[in-house]
A = this chain, B = another copy of it.
Amino acid sequence: MRYQAPANDLRFLLFDVLGADKLHHLEKYADATPDLISAVIDEAGKLAADVIQPTNQVGDREGCQYDPETRSVTTPEAFKEAYRTFVEGGWTALDAPLEFGGQGLPHTLKFVVDEMVCSTNLSLGMYPGLTHGAISALHAHGSETLKQTYLEKLISGEWTGTMCLTEPQCGTDLGMIRTRATPNDDGSYNIEGTKIWITGGEHDLVDNIVHLVLAKLPGAPDTTKGISLFVVPKFLPDSGERNAAFCGGLEHKMGIKGSATCVMNFEGARGWLVGEANDGMRAMFTMMNEARLMVGMQGLGLAEMAYQESLGFARERLQSRSLSGPKNPQGPADPILVHPDVRRMLMRQKVMNEGMRALALFTGHQLDLSVAHPDEEIRESADNLVQLLTPVVKAFLTDEGYNNANWGLQVLGGSGFTQDWPLEQLVRDGRIARIYEGTNGIQAMDLVGRKLALKGGQLVRTLFGVLTGYLKDQPEAPFREELKSAIKSLEQATAWLATNAPKDPEQAGAAATPYLRLMALTVIGYLWSRMAGVARKKLENSEENAPLLEAKQVSAQFYFEKLLPEIQWLLTDIQSGKSSMMAFSDDHWAA
């Protein structure tokens, strides 16, 4: 089935709901007129369907190959031309800084393109995806020399980048890394150590790979405060000399088999410090926060493709008669789309996907405002929302993206379990998104342990300002009472944390995962109310685009009646606290 980019939904969301049609009023985004944004949506949609999608299944079957002789990695054959087309179209440069050859377009557009790429080939999307984080880290923290040396070629896609964080003994707890950096006389460093699970650590799509590597300087403290970031190119840009950064092997994985996940051995490779010594975590978080938002779009992208596939199947597959009388009397049976329980699965996918898209693009829009709005107060408020919602987007969109891909598979029944259909690959590929760039449990801890406390609680107060401001401004808001009650639940949960977490941080840990979900469902509820309200208003004036506008109202009803009520459960869970989780001693677990 050919991928159909959700262009109509994107335009509705960006222009009619979020106000991205006004981005071009900001100096930084003067080029981003609605026409241009619309053209990007359409072109990216075509690229995804025509160039990227055909590489997805073959990439999964072929996988990546490692040659221990040359320590090189071969990517699936079809990836090479697709990557070249992607690069030639300028897609790697979309929101990258103008001064290094980027197009300087709004980040929201990057979100849009990420979704489409991940709908059609997550593995392929990982190569430019990680590069983007490397670009941002170098741009934000690198010296002028480093920027001049690397940025242009990374932005053009001629080179790719990596994030080298994890080691065998540590993933989450980066204070435990053992990779060492010792200064050379010429200002460079000698990097020794082993990194694992390095996406795109070695591959054959480009001539050079630029590793961003966390390592410890001699005498550095044995915590995250002793970590520095280094740039370690595969080939030294000045001399072309092969650097001692070698792939030691590939991981064999459940999915994303076209993405080269490498063990990387730094055998006295030369590296250059990015930013200040012992300040690597800050630069790392520049990459990480970006990567988290991108991973959220991966969850959504896979779920969107699963929805399209399962909808198509449900329309074609004839099985049993409708409970309200035959709908296809000439055929041997009705399409399964008529059955309520099949509709439940499809509605669940559609409504949650569109809600997740709204949450992601709301966050993306705030990111654009945070860097480009002339009013400092608006910039700060937007930045508060982005910081708060980044872990929410990452965790919720990947958990629910995975769930929705599974619902898509379920619509297909036995066919979904066979490799004749793409659903099983979507499920396998999507499983990792709940894990990498910080497991979703870590995202939840970031939210309750860090983001809620930042600026004395200002981030979450900004969110509550948005939510209650909406209720105040919109007395006729659709599903107003349901939304009000959700906001109240989020307030109660936040108050519970404010009371209990300072006395006992384990209470925050116990509440983290349901609290993140509660926040996600509430913010999406706010966005569904807005979408339904805009749709209602537009329909009052014109029949244009009526199917989408009618669908939005029904979808909002489904959301408020069947999905949002989960918050009651989450609040009960949170308020019951840690005691049942922390009571076990060692001998209880396997008793």
Contact A581 B344 (CB under 8 A): yes
Most B Cβ at <10 Å: residue of A255, A311, A417, A419: A417
Please, which residues of chain B bring their CB within 8 A of the CB of A562? 572-573, 576, 580
Contact A445 B588 (CB under 8 A): no
Contact A566 B569, CB 8 Å, known A340-B510, A413-B171, A413-B172: yes
Please, which residues of chain B bring their CB within 8 A of the CB of A414? 166, 171, 197, 432, 435-436
Would you give the shortest CB distance from A252 to chain B, in whole angstroms? 4
Contact of A251 among B347, B418, B432 (CB under 8 A): B418
Contact A509 B339 (CB under 8 A): yes
Please, which residues of chain B bring their CB within 8 A of the CB of A406? 402, 431
- Say whether A565 faces chain B, with CB atoms less than 8 Å apart: yes
Complex Cα spacing A590 to B424, Å: 22
Would you give the shortest CB distance from A431 to chain B, in whole angstroms? 6
- Say whether A170 faces chain B, with CB atoms less than 8 Å apart: yes
- Say whether A568 faces chain B, with CB atoms less than 8 Å apart: yes
Please, which residues of chain B bring their CB within 8 A of the CB of A566? 569
Contact of A341 among B420, B512, B551 (CB under 8 A): B512
Contact B197 A506 (CB under 8 A): no
Would you give the shortest CB distance from A220 to chain B, in whole angstroms? 16
Contact residues of A between 316 and 334, Cβ < 8 Å to B: 318-320, 323-324, 332-333
Contact A569 B580 (CB under 8 A): no
- Say whether A350 faces chain B, with CB atoms less than 8 Å apart: yes
Contact B417 A253 (CB under 8 A): yes
Of all chain B residues, the one with the shortest Cβ separation from A442 is B341
- Say whether A513 faces chain B, with CB atoms less than 8 Å apart: yes
Contact B441 A588 (CB under 8 A): no
- Say whether A558 faces chain B, with CB atoms less than 8 Å apart: yes
- Say whether A345 faces chain B, with CB atoms less than 8 Å apart: yes
Contact residues of A between 504 and 531, Cβ < 8 Å to B: 504-506, 508-510, 512-513
Contact of A441 among B4, B342, B435, B509 (CB under 8 A): B342
Would you give the shortest CB distance from A532 to chain B, in whole angstroms? 12
Contact A319 B171, CB 8 Å, known A341-B444, A341-B445, A558-B581: yes
Please, which residues of chain B bring their CB within 8 A of the CB of A350? 589
Please, which residues of chain B bring their CB within 8 A of the CB of A591? 8, 545, 547-548, 550-551
Contact A252 B432, CB 8 Å, known A319-B172, A551-B584, A561-B580: no
- Say whether A254 faces chain B, with CB atoms less than 8 Å apart: yes
- Say whether A343 faces chain B, with CB atoms less than 8 Å apart: yes
B-contact 0/1 string along A444-470, CB 8 Å cutoff = 110000000000000000000000000
Contact residues of A between 53 and 70, Cβ < 8 Å to B: none
Complex Cα spacing A166 to B473, Å: 57
Contact A506 B323, CB 8 Å, known A427-B431, A431-B417, A435-B416: yes
Please, which residues of chain B bring their CB within 8 A of the CB of A505? 323-324
Most B Cβ at <10 Å: residue of A509, A513, A550: A509
Complex Cα spacing A579 to B557, Å: 9
Contact A509 B323, CB 8 Å, known A561-B572, A580-B561, A588-B550: yes
Complex Cα spacing A436 to B579, Å: 39
- Say whether A410 faces chain B, with CB atoms less than 8 Å apart: yes
Contact A441 B506 (CB under 8 A): no
Complex Cα spacing A170 to B333, Å: 10
Contact B513 A578 (CB under 8 A): no
Please, which residues of chain B bring their CB within 8 A of the CB of A504? 324
Q: Give 18 A-B contacts (CB < 8 Å), ordered by A residue.
A: A169-B332, A171-B413, A171-B414, A173-B333, A176-B332, A251-B420, A253-B418, A311-B590, A324-B504, A337-B589, A343-B581, A344-B513, A347-B580, A347-B581, A545-B591, A547-B587, A551-B588, A551-B589
Known: A166-B414, A551-B589, A561-B573. 8 other contacts (CB 8 A): A254-B419, A323-B505, A341-B444, A350-B589, A410-B439, A413-B439, A554-B588, A565-B573
